[in-house]
């Protein structure tokens, strides 16, 4: 590394170039392409300005009177038709994530090899 520094030009050299030449840590990012420096506090302040108070709250939203009102609210927020909002509610609901027949975690199937204290005493 010392020889590389001397070859930069007659004894005097730029400190940035020296750091780049001395460093044996590989560079995997292109500068200013993948990472940009920003002030975290400014980002947080801008985020709080953008979000509404309800978005920052940990409290549950008040329940809407009907499913139609909920669909209308979602449609307005997303800029879509109420029919599309209703379709999204059906497709993206928690119920669609459940497997058929596995809804009750308190029921142990008959065909299991599970050994419990109850089965050891009988």
CB 111 within 8 A of CB 93: no
Q: Quick one: pLDDT at residue 47?
A: 85
Cα 57 off chain centre by: 18
Q: For residue 74, what are the contacts with CB-CB under 8 A and spacing of at least 6? A: 80, 85, 88, 89
Top-ranked range on mean pLDDT: pick from 53-57, 83-87, 88-92: 83-87
Domain segments of the chain as ranges: 1-56, 63-99
pLDDT exceeds 80 at position 49:
yes
Burial 42-56 (b: 16+ CB within 10 A, else e): eeeeeeeeeeeeeee
Q: Quick one: pLDDT at residue 76?
A: 94
Taking the model in full, what pTM does it have?
Answer: 0.33
Split at pLDDT 50, 70, 90, the class of 48 is: confident
């Amino acid at each position: 590394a010392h020889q590389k520094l001397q070859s930069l030009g007659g004894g005097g050299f730029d400190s940035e170039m020296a750091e780049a030449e001395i460093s044996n840590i590989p560079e995997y990012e292109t500068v200013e392409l993948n990472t940009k420096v920003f002030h975290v506090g400014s980002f947080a302040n801008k985020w709080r300005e953008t979000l509404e108070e309800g978005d920052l709250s940990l409290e549950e939203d008040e329940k809407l009177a009907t499913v139609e009102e909920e669909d209308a609210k979602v449609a307005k927020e997303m800029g879509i038709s109420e029919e599309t909002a209703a379709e999204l509610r059906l497709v993206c609901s928690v119920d669609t994530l459940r497997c058929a027949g596995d809804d009750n975690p308190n029921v142990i199937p008959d065909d299991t090899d599970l050994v419990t204290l109850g089965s050891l005493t009988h």
